[in-house]
Structure 1
């Protein structure tokens, strides 16, 4: 199984964000990717740098104006606010009417939904190469590989069409899925990160060619809130093509696997010809953002069941934070998927 990663993804280095009104250390650290990279090397995976596919595949999914805002946003913020200020939005437009302002502080609020995506000097390169990693992975699968893994960091599944959200700048999984539609008529995207794939739902909600399924706790009481309810099933061409499968907080590994089976059955019913997996290891019982209880053997079983779909598959890394079992969970899933698709 081919693996793609670029060291420039380590450049995004947020120190803290605000959660429940308090400043706290940022969970999405470069060390996450370093732990996964080192595990992959130790397990004999060859890691390849992605090629540069440019901005067009990103702009095929995201508002081009949002994409164009990001490259120099940090430099403009520092010029305005000084080097010691945190580049997060402190003003927001509320209901999405109005026009994008020209002032950097107003623009941060226009394009960024929360405090979890502070811009740092290396954020643009990290987000850009994270997306390129996903594109290269999709391209590899489209060219005939049974499976490939994108070690994407920062993650992507909370990023919406025109804004960052929840540690995410570009929606890598949707970018990969869009890229696969150039080869396959029907693509499925299943999100097994513990948090709602709210950005993916936003992007795909009216599409009929990409089926979307997300497993997550009820967004009425668990972040990222707002999107991911059971009655959100798609609109227009996408009617019936979105499936949100809700877990109870504290759900067991067996509960998670039972819902995964429902998602897999729906993917089969859709007639998917290729698969994208938003792969989060934050379903782990000991993850810092834990809400359910999956263990290394559970991640291995998830891999076996997804591999049994026998579809060309792009695995796109999402969450999974600095808990003690991160490397073990990733090893269990990825080595099992490699063996099942060899």
Structure 2
């Protein structure tokens, strides 16, 4: 399996996070990359540095205004009086009656959906390199590889066409899906991150050429709170092409695997030419965000099931946070997918 990783992705190492009214250290730390690379090493998988992805691969899913904001906001923020070290919005647009602002503070509240994805000095460089990895994995599949893996961070599946949120900047999974669409007529996205892939859903919600399926923890009292419900099935031409499979946070292997099987059955009915896996590993029972109770064996089963679907597959890394178990979660899934154990 070809694997893609760019050292620049580690340049994003955010600090600020607001949880339950308290400021904490952000969970999306650069250390995650070391833990994930250790998993690839255990499987004997080497990484390649991706080529620079063309701008149109980003513009296929994101607006020009959003891309410009991500690239320039930190520099503009530093020109503010007594500016903090990261771009963190203090006001949010009520978009139903909103006008796009010109100042960077207002644009931060337009293009950032919450405070969990702060922009630092090198965040654009990192997320741009993550997009390079996602496009390289998609291009490998387009070129005939059975599967390719993109070690992307920061993650992406909470970002919509013009809004970053939930530790995510560029939506790397959506970018991979968009890139696959340049070759294939129909593409499916299966998101198994413990959090609902709300950004990916939003990007493709009115389209019939990209089926989006998300297996995640129920969102009534868990991020992203406002979406991720079973009644969200798409709109317009996309009606029936979005499937949400929310599960209780107490879910263990059996319930999680059953939901993945349901998602794969819908994908089979759709008959896509290629598949994107939004590979969150934060459903693990020891993940610090405590979303579900899935074991390493559950991840291995999921890998085997997805491989058995027989679709060309771009695997894009999403969540999975700082824990000694993160490495083994990755080796379990990829080992299952490839039909072999870790070394």
Scaled to the shorter chain, the TM-score interval is over 0.9
Map Cα deviations across residues 310-340 of structure 1 (whole Å, 9 max, x no partner). 0000000000001231101101111222237
Counterpart position of 1:242: 242
SS in 1 for 2:24: strand
The superposition leaves residues 254-280 of structure 1 with CA deviations (integer Å, 9 ceiling, x where unpaired) of 110011110010000111111000000
Q: Kindly indicate whether the alpha-carbon contact (under 8 Å) linking 2:74 and 2:86 is maintained by their aligned counterparts in 1.
A: no
**Corresponding position: 1:254 with 2:254:** yes
> Would you say the 8 A contact 2:112–2:164 is kept in 1?
yes
The alignment partner of 2:132 has SS state of: helix
Tell me, in whole angstroms, the C-alpha distance in 2 between the residues paired with 1:12 and 1:75: 15
Distance 1:112 1:93 in 2: 9
Report the TM-score, using the length of structure 1 for normalisation.
0.97
Which range moved further: 33-42 or 255-264?
Answer: 33-42
CA distance in 2 between counterparts of 1:200 and 1:255 reads 23
What do the CA deviations read for 1:27-72 (whole angstroms, capped 9, x no partner)? 0000001111122123211100110123211111011111111112
Tell me which residue corresponds to 2:306. 306
Alignment of 1:191-270 (within 5 A): 191-270=191-270
Q: How far has the Cα of 1:20 moved from its partner?
A: 1.5
Say whether the 8 Å CA contact 1:41–1:47 is kept in structure 2: no
Q: 2:17 is matched with which residue?
A: 17
Q: Distance in 2 between matches of 1:312 and 1:39?
A: 22
Unaligned runs of 5+ in 2: none
- For the 8 Å contact 2:252–2:295, the answer to whether it is kept is no
Q: Is the 8 A contact 2:249 2:293 kept in 1?
A: no
**Distance in 1 (alpha carbons) for counterparts of 2:301 and 2:218:** 23
Deviates more, 1:38-47 or 1:164-173: 38-47
For residue 70 of structure 1, give the secondary structure of its aligned residue in structure 2. helix
> Which SS does the other structure have where 2:160 is aligned?
coil
State the match for 1:280 in structure 2: 280
> Separation in 2 of the partners of 1:15 and 1:110?
21
Match of 2:318 in 1: 318
Deviation digits for residues 90-129 of structure 1, max 9, x if unmatched? Answer: 0112134332212111111111111011111110000101
Q: Is the 8 A contact 1:58 1:175 kept in 2?
A: yes
- Per mean C-alpha deviation after superposition, the further-off stretch among 209-218 and 81-90 is 81-90
Q: Distance in 1 between matches of 2:112 and 2:143?
A: 35
CA contact (8 A) 1:11 1:126 kept: yes
- The answer (yes or no) to whether the contact 2:42–2:331 under 8 Å persists in 1 is no
The question of 1:125 aligning with 2:142 is answered no
The answer to whether the 8 A contact 2:174-2:200 is kept is: yes
Q: CA deviation at 1:85?
A: 4.6
Give the SS at the match of 1:24: strand
Partner of 2:149: 149
Residues 19 and 39 from structure 1, CA distance in 2 versus in 1: closer, same or farther, beyond 3 angstroms? same
TM-score by length of 2: 0.97
**Secondary structure of residue in 2 paired with 1:202:** helix
Q: Distance in 1 between matches of 2:290 and 2:186?
A: 33
* Counterpart for residue 99 of structure 1: 99
CA RMSD in angstroms comes to 1.2
